[in-house]
Chain A
Amino acid sequence: MQNDSYVTKTTINKVSFWKNNAPLLGQLDMELTERCNNNCLHCCINLPTDDSAAKKKELSSNEIKRILKEAVSIGCMSVRFTGGEPLLREDFEELYIFARKLGLKVLLFTNATLITPYLAELFSRIPPLEKIETTVYGMKKSSYEAITRVDGSFEAAWRGINLLLDYKIPFVVKGVLLPSNKDEIEEFEAWAATIPWMDEPPSYSMFFDLRCRRNGNKNELIKELRLSPEEGLKVLSRKKDKYIKEMKEFCSKFMRPSGNRLFSCGSGHGGCVDAYGYFQPCLPLRCPDTIYDLKKGSLKNALTNFFPKLREIKTSNLDYINRCAKCFLKGLCEQCPAKSYMEHGTLDTPVEYLCDVAHTQARFLGLLKENEKAWEVGEWKDRIRLFTNRKVLKNRRMQ
């Protein structure tokens, strides 16, 4: 039995960790509340902090604990606490410590405005084991609060971010591109590069989702705020060589028609519990036909019986069958049942905006000719081969 080392450090995020023996549930998203202390222009989910009707419906501490315990019993290693703003929950500290003591890693999505010295000390003493993720809406009070529409939110967020830095709590920042801050990208990225835990430049939201619950009074505003496909491409490709290199790798792995089956994205292997106890196959999908009531059943039952049936659903919408099902830009396009539901209230209606975004990128990459539609391309495999082979030729020249 003799051995030199008995214990090995590892990370659960390594894809090969479980080999072929993965647990039923790897990661769970828990939306602790839909309420938020910001009122962001573009947000797809936020309700006012003082929405007492929403608060009253939210899961209790004990209900959340029961779900977390079951998640752990079926192998879950990591829980993402998101919202709304999860730190608005008065029992956040209790839930956080409970999750960590179950042996869960906690990924916290927060706007950072409610991080206090007390919470920073807690994260220092009992680390989340995942980098906290926070969105920075602007580098100036005027640009930041033009988006959050809450006076004082800029100072509060930076106070929170500075606490994370002072207490050396690992975190990363993300951006959102809106008219008030779009000229601040350089400044934002230069600052983000000084954060010790930023391994890559920040990612950005710019092709905004409509309201998840289809409460559409904000939808027209969100549509107006979306970057046009051309503007989006300009942002994505501003570091052209890097963008093309990444897209070649991406295209070689993920580009192919998805067929008539709606859920081709892997959703339903994990899932998201909303603030009221409904288990969704993914975070944005709130269609009543695709959610599972955890007050009446278990995570295990949802994962083994309910979600697998969703994954078998095939579309009968001819528009989808003739376009999306045949389209080889599937990996590039964000079309999915969740986005379709948000836009149209159905699971299988093509979203024109997302279609335009994907086609604009594909034309830029040389995968499509001008005015060509991707679902009309029979020789799509050749197009991808040609695109990805260019990398090899270029590399050879470089050698």
Chain B
Amino acid sequence: MKGKASQNKIYKVSEDVVARDIQGELIIVPITSGVGDLEDEIFTVNETGRAIWDKLDGKKTLREVAQELSRDFEGALEDIEKDVLGITQELLKRRMLVEATKS
């Protein structure tokens, strides 16, 4: 599942990780081997990543996610699309997201 992220595809959180919100901090905890390199490794997501992560619900395409964020943050759609693709690519590479089919 390490393919290239696409604007037209839908993504959801992988079963290889658990995402936890602790004191407002998004923490991604690996469940299966190979997500982290070290025995005590976990992951945090920055503010931009967090805003995008919260929209990745396994129902919306990345384009729809970017459009929603563009409205929420009143930002340029083109810039936001780059961020959405960027984080999705990174999370796919880390096995934290997988492609979902539209239900």
Q: Do A and B bind each other?
A: yes
Q: Which residues on A are within 8 Å of B, measured CB to CB?
A: 1-3, 5-13, 18, 21-23, 72, 75, 77, 100-105, 124-131, 170, 197
* Residues of A contacting B32 in the complex (Cβ-Cβ under 8 angstroms): 125-127
9 contacting pairs across A/B (C-beta < 8 A):
A1-B75, A6-B49, A7-B46, A7-B87, A7-B94, A8-B46, A9-B43, A129-B41, A131-B40
Cα distance A180–B13 in the bound complex, in angstroms: 53
- Asked whether, in the complex, the Cβ of A3 is within 8 Å of the Cβ of B41, the reply is no
Chain B: residues with Cβ within 8 Å of the partner, total of 42
Cα distance A75–B75 in the bound complex, in angstroms: 33
CB within 8 Å of A: which B33-90 residues: 33, 36-46, 48-49, 51-52, 69, 73, 75, 79-80, 82-83, 86-87, 90
- Asked whether, in the complex, the Cβ of B29 is within 8 Å of the Cβ of A105, the reply is yes
User: Which residue of A12, A22, A23, A104 has the most chain B CB atoms within 10 A of its CB atom?
Assistant: A12
B8 on interface, CB distance cutoff 8 Å: no
* Residues of A contacting B100 in the complex (Cβ-Cβ under 8 angstroms): none
* Residues of A contacting B73 in the complex (Cβ-Cβ under 8 angstroms): 1
Cα distance A129–B38 in the bound complex, in angstroms: 8
* Residues of A contacting B41 in the complex (Cβ-Cβ under 8 angstroms): 9-11, 129
- Asked whether, in the complex, the Cβ of B30 is within 8 Å of the Cβ of A127, the reply is yes
Cα distance A368–B81 in the bound complex, in angstroms: 68
Cα distance A53–B44 in the bound complex, in angstroms: 45
- Asked whether, in the complex, the Cβ of A2 is within 8 Å of the Cβ of B20, the reply is no
Closest 5 CB pairs of A and B: A6-B49, A103-B18, A103-B29, A170-B39, A6-B87
Total residue contacts A-B, CB cutoff 8 A: 115
Q: Which residues on B are within 8 Å of A, measured CB to CB?
A: 18-20, 22-25, 27-33, 36-46, 48-49, 51-52, 69, 73, 75, 79-80, 82-83, 86-87, 90-91, 94, 96
* Residues of B contacting A23 in the complex (Cβ-Cβ under 8 angstroms): 22-23
Cα distance A21–B27 in the bound complex, in angstroms: 14
Cα distance A131–B40 in the bound complex, in angstroms: 8
- Asked whether, in the complex, the Cβ of B33 is within 8 Å of the Cβ of A7, the reply is no
Closest residue of B by beta carbon distance from A127: B33
From A7, A126, A130, A131, contact of B31 by CB (8 A): A126
Cα distance A1–B85 in the bound complex, in angstroms: 12
* Residues of B contacting A22 in the complex (Cβ-Cβ under 8 angstroms): 23
B19: shortest Cβ distance to chain A, in Å? Answer: 8
Task: Known pairs A1-B69, A126-B32, A129-B39; list 16 more (Cβ under 8 Å).
Answer: A1-B79, A2-B83, A3-B48, A3-B49, A3-B86, A6-B49, A7-B43, A7-B96, A8-B46, A9-B37, A10-B42, A10-B43, A11-B41, A72-B20, A104-B29, A126-B31
- Asked whether, in the complex, the Cβ of B49 is within 8 Å of the Cβ of A9, the reply is no
Cα distance A241–B82 in the bound complex, in angstroms: 56
